[in-house]
Every structure is written in structure tokens, then in C-alpha cells.
């Protein structure tokens, strides 16, 4: 028996595991000190009552023979896929329910999609970006190249037409930088993908946080995307489902590569390796897309975005350059005094009790930068801001 040696090429400590390790060490050494956690992007607001009431009703259905549900449809229940299609339609984007696949979250889909692609593909990643894109590509034995995000390009790298790629990961709004691609920029990426016969994997997990009406929420708002893109989304940050788990992936039937339908391949993969998201969870997810469900979700999003503005304003007051925070729940800032990311992390933690996330953990282009998450309580945001304004 031989192991997958590509998996051994990864850093032994996953970024967020190392952050958690250092936070635990700080708390053990300082049991009486307050921890202001702006690091891992987990939500702090509870699920809305409209969602939990639906979960209770669905659970009650499971206790009666006439309303009991066993195995569900491989793609997910039609009522949820139709609700998601309706959500897209509200912004004028037409997505067929048959092109939507329900899962237990975007992170899982982003990794599982690797099953569809040959190892002999070159993967293009923005740098910095969410670590899962890089880790799953390396584990699959693929060659990875990068498009550098910098202070000068607003951490929105654009394609280099002299470089060839087969699979392109884009995240907009971006995690960790909070930067958002414009329609014109996404159109250029689509043009590049078509010229290279490449596929775009578009992570739209934070689209609900976009406030600027000129910015696109979905890559399918851009002409030509249905021929070269798959979109991945989730309710984790939209409706607080981090501990509930429900997401979806849009795989248009028009997607054909190497003579094969990616829609049919993904359907076959889901039928083979996944037994479906819980019926109870799908009922709750569908309720999110009702008028009252969306109102509750947007109220929580407003809360987190106000946190982001509090944090960003404090950094500005201290003369620290930052991006993000206007159309995303993350604030990406330059480490004071040109410090390296982990040194800045340790200083903020040990001197002020503020836990952020080192930018270098998201890629080499993140060295010297830090990420703050606004998924905290208002009290934490205000206290952290009071310290940050004095840096």
C-alpha cells in the first residue's frame, strides 16, 4: 500500500489550526486577560427564529409515517433548488433548478470538484487567497501557478494572457482581502478562460455582503460565464449556517470540456459519494430564501458590516492602510512598521489581546498583511477598535 505523497507536500499545520494553537497558548499563560477574537471567520449571531421554527417543523414531520423522509434526491430537494433559482432571479440572473446541486457547504464542494479533473491540469490561483484552493490542488497532484494580488492592484489580480492555465479559482468578495471584482474585470477573466479552454471555479460565498449595486454578486451575471464557469455558494455566512452546513454549486448543462458534460459528471460524482444534505436542513435553508428569512439574514449581515466599519475606521485613525470592509466582512490591513505577518499577529495578541489572522497564511503575497474578521460581537469590535486606534 502506498500513500498519496502529494498530501505530504502540504504544510503540516493548517493556517487556522496554528492560529487556534497560539490563541490557546495565550489564554493558558494569561487566564485573566480578555481575548478579542477577530481571527477565524465563524459567525456569532444565532440562527433566526424563522429558520429554527422551520427546522422544528421539519423534525416533527420526520416523526410521522405520512411525512417521513428517507434518502432524498441526489441533487437536493427540488423545493430548495427552486428557492435558490428564485434568489438568483431577483437580481435578473436566470439559473435552472436542474443546474443547482445541494451540499453540506462550499468548502466541501471546492475540494470535491477536484474529482472531475485530470491531474495533468495547471491551476491558477490568486495570491493571497483561501488556503483550501491551494491545498486541494496540491493533494490532487496538480501544478499550481499564481496571479499576484498587491496593494497596487487592489488585491484584484487580472489574467496574464502570456500564461496558460486550465483551472482558475476566483473568490469575490475575496477571502481574505475583501476585494470585489467588477463586471468588466470578470468579463476579462471569462475571455481569458475561453481563450485558454479553461474552467473558472467561482467562490461566491460572501456575495450577500456586497453593498455597491454596481458590483456583481454572481459570475453568471456576466455574458459567457455559463460556457466556462462553475459557481459555489453557501449559507454559512449568509444565514449563520456554519454549524448547520448547507451550500450549493451551480454547474450549467452548457459546460463541456474534453468532450464531456461537467454537469453529468458532477451528478454522477454526487450520486456515488454523497447521500444528500439532511431534509431538515434543506427545509431550513429554503426558509432563508423567503421574504422573512432574507430580512432576518440581512439584519445579521448589517450587524457584521457595521462591525467591519468600526474596525476599519479604527485602523484608518491609526494611519494604517486597509482594504475590504465595505463589500465584505473582512478587513485586510498592512502590518504596522513593515512587520512580518506572524510577528504582527503575536504582537497584537500578546500586547492587546487581539487575535487576527496572519496574511502570509493565505499565500506569499500576504506577507506583511493581516486579516480581521467582523464576525464578532459589537462589544468585541468596539473594544478592539479602541486599542487599534492607538497603534
Q: What phi, psi does 313 have (nearest 5°)?
A: -65, -35
Count of beta carbons in the 10 Å neighbourhood of residue 9: 11
| pLDDT for 317 | 97
What pLDDT digit, counting tens, does each position of 170-183 carry? 999 999 999 999 99
pLDDT tens per residue across all 391 residues of the chain: 999 999 999 876 778 889 999 999 999 999 999 999 999 889 999 999 999 999 999 999 999 999 999 999 999 999 999 999 999 999 999 999 999 999 999 999 999 999 999 999 999 999 999 999 999 999 999 999 999 999 999 999 999 999 999 999 999 999 999 999 999 999 999 999 999 999 999 999 999 999 999 999 999 999 999 999 999 999 999 999 999 999 999 999 999 999 999 999 999 999 999 999 999 999 999 999 999 999 999 999 999 999 999 999 999 999 999 999 999 999 999 999 999 999 999 999 999 999 999 999 999 999 999 999 999 999 999 999 999 998 8
CATH number, domain 51-290: 3.40.640.10
Q: What residues form DSSP beta bridges with 12?
A: none
Residue whose grid cell is 470535491:
112
What pLDDT digit, counting tens, does each position of 306-337 carry? 999 999 999 999 999 999 999 999 999 999 99
| pLDDT for 11 | 79
| pLDDT for 391 | 81
Q: Which residues lie below 8 Å from residue 297, measured CB to CB, with a gap of 6+?
A: 48, 208, 238, 239, 240, 288
Pairing of strands 354-355, 36-37: parallel
| pLDDT for 57 | 98
CA distances to 22, 160, 212, 248, 340 from 361, in Å: 14, 24, 29, 26, 11
| CA pair distance 187, 218, nearest whole angstrom | 12
0.95 exceeded by pTM: yes
DSSP 315-381: HHHTT--EEESSSSSEEEEEPGGG--HHHHHHHIIIII-EE-EEGGGG-GGGTTEEEEE--S-HHHH
Tell me which DSSP letter residue 8 carries: G
CATH number, domain 5-47+292-388: 3.90.1150.10
Cβ contact 236:224 at 8 Å? no
Q: What phi, psi does 327 have (nearest 5°)?
A: -130, 20
| pLDDT for 87 | 98
Q: Where are the domains of the chain?
A: 5-47+292-388, 51-290
Amino acid at each position: 500500500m502506498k500513500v498519496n505523497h502529494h498530501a505530504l507536500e502540504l504544510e503540516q499545520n493548517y493556517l487556522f489550526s496554528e492560529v487556534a494553537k497560539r490563541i490557546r497558548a495565550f489564554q493558558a499563560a494569561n487566564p485573566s486577560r480578555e481575548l478579542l477574537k477577530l481571527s477565524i471567520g465563524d459567525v456569532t449571531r444565532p440562527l433566526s427564529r424563522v429558520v429554527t421554527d422551520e427546522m422544528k417543523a421539519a423534525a416533527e414531520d420526520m416523526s410521522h409515517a405520512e411525512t417521513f423522509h428517507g434518502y432524498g434526491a441526489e441533487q437536493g430537494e427540488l423545493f430548495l433548488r427552486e428557492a435558490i433559482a428564485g434568489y438568483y432571479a431577483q437580481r435578473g440572473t436566470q439559473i435552472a433548478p436542474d443546474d443547482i446541486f445541494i451540499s453540506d457547504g462550499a468548502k466541501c464542494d471546492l475540494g470535491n470538484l477536484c474529482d472531475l479533473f485530470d491531474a495533468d491540469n495547471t491551476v491558477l490561483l490568486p495570491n493571497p487567497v483561501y488556503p483550501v484552493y491551494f491545498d486541494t490542488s496540491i493533494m490532487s497532484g496538480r501544478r499550481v501557478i499564481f496571479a499576484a494580488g498587491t496593494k497596487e492592484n487592489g488585491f484584484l489580480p487580472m489574467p496574464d494572457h502570456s500564461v496558460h492555465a486550465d483551472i482558475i479559482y476566483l473568490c469575490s468578495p475575496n477571502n481574505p482581502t475583501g476585494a470585489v471584482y467588477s463586471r468588466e474585470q470578470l468579463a476579462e477573466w471569462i475571455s481569458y478562460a475561453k481563450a485558454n479552454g479553461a474552467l473558472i471555479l467561482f467562490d461566491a460565498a460572501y456575495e450577500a455582503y456586497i453593498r455597491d449595486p454596481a458590483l456583481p454578486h454572481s459570475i453568471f451575471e456576466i455574458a459567457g460565464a455559463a460556457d466556462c464557469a462553475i459557481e459555489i455558494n453557501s449559507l454559512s455566512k449568509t444565514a449563520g449556517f456554519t454549524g448547520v452546513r448547507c451550500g450549493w454549486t451551480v454547474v450549467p448543462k452548457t459546460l463541456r470540456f474534453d468532450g464531456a458534460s461537467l454537469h453529468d459528471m458532477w451528478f454522477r460524482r454526487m450520486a456515488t459519494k454523497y447521500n444528500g444534505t439532511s431534509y431538515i436542513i434543506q427545509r431550513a435553508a429554503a426558509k432563508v430564501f423567503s421574504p422573512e428569512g432574507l430580512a432576518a439574514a440581512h439584519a445579521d449581515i448589517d450587524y457584521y458590516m457595521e462591525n467591519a466599519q468600526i474596525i476599519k475606521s479604527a485602523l484608518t485613525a491609526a494611519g494604517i492602510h486597509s482594504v475590504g470592509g465595505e463589500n465584505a466582512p473582512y478587513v485586510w490591513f498592512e502590518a504596522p512598521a513593515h512587520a512580518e505577518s506572524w510577528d504582527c499577529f503575536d504582537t497584537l495578541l500578546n500586547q492587546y489581546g487581539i487575535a487576527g489572522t496572519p496574511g502570509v497564511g493565505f499565500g506569499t503575497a500576504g506577507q506583511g498583511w493581516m486579516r480581521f474578521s467582523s464576525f464578532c460581537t459589537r462589544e468585541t469590535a468596539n473594544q478592539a477598535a479602541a486599542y487599534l486606534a492607538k497603534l
